[in-house]
Chains A and B, each alone.
Chain A
Amino acid sequence: MPAHGIATLVADATQPADVESPAAASPAQNSQADRAAVAAPAATPPGKVARFGAVAFAPTVAAAIALAVHRWVPNGQKIDQPTRLYPRLLLILLVAGVVVGLTQQLWRRIKPTPWNFPLAFVSNALHWCVASAPVLAAGILLLCAWDLVTLKLALVPLPYFPGPDAVFQTLVNDWASSGQGQPGLAECMTSSLFLLLSGYFVGSFLGVVCGVMIGWFPAARYWGVPVMKLVGPVPATALIPMALMLFRNPTLSAVWLIALAVWFPVTMLTLSGVMNVRASYLDVARTLGAGRAYLIFRVALPAALPNIFVGLFMGLGSSFLTLVVAEGVGVQAGLGWYIDWARAYSDYAKVYAALIIMAAYFSTIMTLLFRVRDHVLVWQKGVIKW
């Protein structure tokens, strides 16, 4: 039996299936070694200690530069009050950077277990900071550039381009309440997240169901495809009266709008995935004694999963785009609602604060979706990469 791991199976072809010989013990160990070697080439292997590098101080240097620029370059834009939050943030980053840089050799990647979870979390987080020092430094320099372009050199006009201090200050000020008794950013965040996730899950689920039905049954396809062609390009703004007529509850109207925006790409890609299942898979399944349920749920659906995930990603983008429109139908709070209000006041510090939160949401949900996909589509590893 071959003594190599799973990665080197071609060698096996030279040896016939000698069924009586015992299975080798090494493949299991070797495959683990293979897996370990392939994983995370960029980060240090688990257990290993990094060398002491000056590069870990890059964020500190960047923070120092940003602080100096902020302190000593005169303001070009006219603002009412001196800045507070931004320089304090830079100072904290600077001090933290020095501390982490000096202690960089302490932090290594530890596998988290229920016993050492807090320690593992801290150690892994700080190890990531050390390993990603160049990127963090670039991020801080980006903040500095933002400050320069807006507040310091006034290359771009108010009220459209406030400096970073104004935006951070808004994030803090508007957290609990955004003035005039209205909900603050915290409530807006939870409200929008609820709308987004509800709409996304409802739309995705219905999209997969409709996609499978339209893809599999010719009758469903006959009626379904024309409906899709009609509904597809309708923009959410045009559907607002319908949303108001269908639901008395503004939350339901908003969820419906988002679900519709998600439903379309998910259905399209699911049905294309189902229709393009390799006929040979279905033939094989039929010769194995499969009935219709098996063919649909155990062959067509798994085979269509790569397409379905593409649809899910597209649906995610659609849901964010529709959020702002969906929150214009009588909701009481939300990031889109907040942005509309801020734009009416031309208070763009608020607009950017809300956009930053939306971007954070988007990338987090996107990353989670990628993780789910990697787990579900584990069989695609090594076949297609995207």
Chain B
Amino acid sequence: MSNRRTSLAVMLLLAAVILAVPGCKKHDAPDAAASPAGETNKIRVGYIGLTCEAPIFSAVEKGFFKEEGLDVELVRCQWATYKDALALGRFDVTHHLVMYFLKPIEQGLDVKFTGGIHRGCLRVQAGTKGDILTIKDLKGKIVGVPGLGTPPFMFATRVMAANGIDPSRDVKWRVYPAGELGLAVKRGLVDAVANSEPVGSLLLAEGTVRTIADQAKDAPYKDEYCCAVLVNGQFYAKNPKATAAATRALLKAAKWVDTNPAAAARLSVEKKYIASNVNLNAHAISNLDYVPSISGAEKAVLQSAQDMKAAGMLMPQTDLEQLAAKAFVHLPGVTDEWLKSLEVEKLADGDVPPGEDIRQYAQLINAPGAKNCCIGRK
């Protein structure tokens, strides 16, 4: 009898501890506590090691953080616990998918959005062997996603709802790890998949799927921001100036990456932030729309929230205006006007040659040394 109770208590405690403590590589993190007099200028920036995190690497390498007077320390983390690592203060700022964080913020996660980084990385794709050509053809079919509640799932749900399909009744959802979605399509286990970069590009390159909804190209999503700058709520409360400075640095880096994608790709690979082939990386980056914006990000938050509520993902009693206000903060000195006036260098060899095709991915994938950094994660 006491055995049972003990095992129950132990399991609960263990689960709580395991869930709460995320895994991050410690980089001798100094306490980012503010000095009693004012704010700190030390900031920890988190990253996973993805192609799309090019603005983070560029901001560090090109000295944008230093320009803003910040002493930066990079903290490398894992996909699975990224949300928790940010919320619990393992690092202070980063940029990541908006839809990944919106529902957790509603549940009480203490993080804030401060600016939009890039648009469009989510897609819904159907197997080439099937007969699905548009979203409407998805009625009654099986859709594979990296998880219920992940950004690809949310995007697919929103697109379906906009096309008159009830995602909770008219389709069947199956969960597979992101890296195995292609395999699921090939084996016929699912009719269509929803995913984020670079899985989407890779599947297209392999010829496994055709895209039927693209967040980067389809209205109204193409103006919507996929990824935004995120900051730990308590850090922001204690250090608003440092938060603003970091945001500016990242937004500037985004603009730089948009102007010089090839240079950004080289930088990411040569400095060993990601394990990939330079050309592959350049392609992926140039396909994303790195146009930083503040208003765009704010709109994205509200729009996502509205669609999520319509799809039943948010609690019925949630007030959307309040949620958007809680989630997005305007920082001093970080405005669209400032962004417009922002100038970045344009390097001669910084851009990708025109006419390069995504199908070149196929050769690049099989080239030695090309590793897919984002495969196998959600």
Contacts and interface: CB of A to CB of B under 8 A. Distances in A.
Q: When A and B assemble into the complex, do they touch directly, with CB atoms less than 8 Å apart?
A: yes
Interface of A: 77-78, 80-81, 132, 135, 139, 142, 157-161, 179-182, 237, 240-241, 244-245, 248, 250, 327-332, 337, 340-348, 351-352, 355-356, 358-360, 362-363, 366-367
Contact of A330 (B4, B109, B174): B174
Contact of A180 (B5, B150, B313): B313
Most chain B CB neighbours (cut-off 10 Å) among A241, A328, A344:
A344
Given A160-B84, A182-B168, A355-B12, A248 B4 contact: no
Contact of A328 (B84, B104, B176): B176
B19 A250 contact: no
Contacts of A241: 180, 183
A329 B147 CA distance: 10
A332 to B, nearest CB: 7
B147 to A, nearest CB: 5
B180 A244 contact: yes
Contacts of B348: none
Nearest to A139: B5
B312 A345 contact: no
B12 A359 contact: yes
Interface of B: 1-5, 7-9, 11-12, 15-16, 19-20, 83-84, 87-88, 100, 103-104, 107-110, 144, 147-150, 157, 166-169, 172-177, 180, 183-184, 187-190, 311-313, 315, 317-318, 378
Given A328-B176, A330-B144, A356-B12, A346 B104 contact: yes
Contacts of B110: 157
15 contacts: A158-B107, A159-B108, A160-B19, A180-B312, A182-B173, A240-B180, A244-B176, A328-B175, A329-B180, A337-B175, A340-B175, A344-B149, A345-B104, A346-B103, A359-B7
A2 B190 CA distance: 75
B1 A135 contact: yes
Q: Which 7 A-B pairs have the closest CB atoms?
A: A181-B168, A158-B108, A344-B149, A346-B104, A159-B107, A159-B108, A341-B148
B157 to A, nearest CB: 8
Contacts, number: 142
Contacts of A356: 8, 12
A352 B104 contact: no
B189 A80 contact: no
A46 to B, nearest CB: 18
Contact of A159 (B5, B12, B104, B188): B104
Contacts of B108: 77-78, 157-159, 346
A304 to B, nearest CB: 25
Contact of B167 (A78, A158, A180, A345): A180
Most chain B CB neighbours (cut-off 10 Å) among A161, A182, A237, A328:
A328
A179 B312 contact: yes
Given A244-B189, A248-B189, A345-B149, A329 B176 contact: yes
A362 B104 contact: no
Contacts of A250: 174, 189
Contacts of B87: 157
A363 B4 CA distance: 6
A329 B107 CA distance: 27
Contacts of A159: 104, 107-109
Contact of B177 (A142, A328, A337): A328
A63 to B, nearest CB: 17
A90 B378 CA distance: 41
A142 B12 CA distance: 12
Nearest to A356: B12
A166 to B, nearest CB: 10
B83 A360 contact: no
Given A157-B108, A180-B148, A341-B175, 5 more contacts: A328-B177, A345-B107, A345-B149, A348-B19, A362-B11
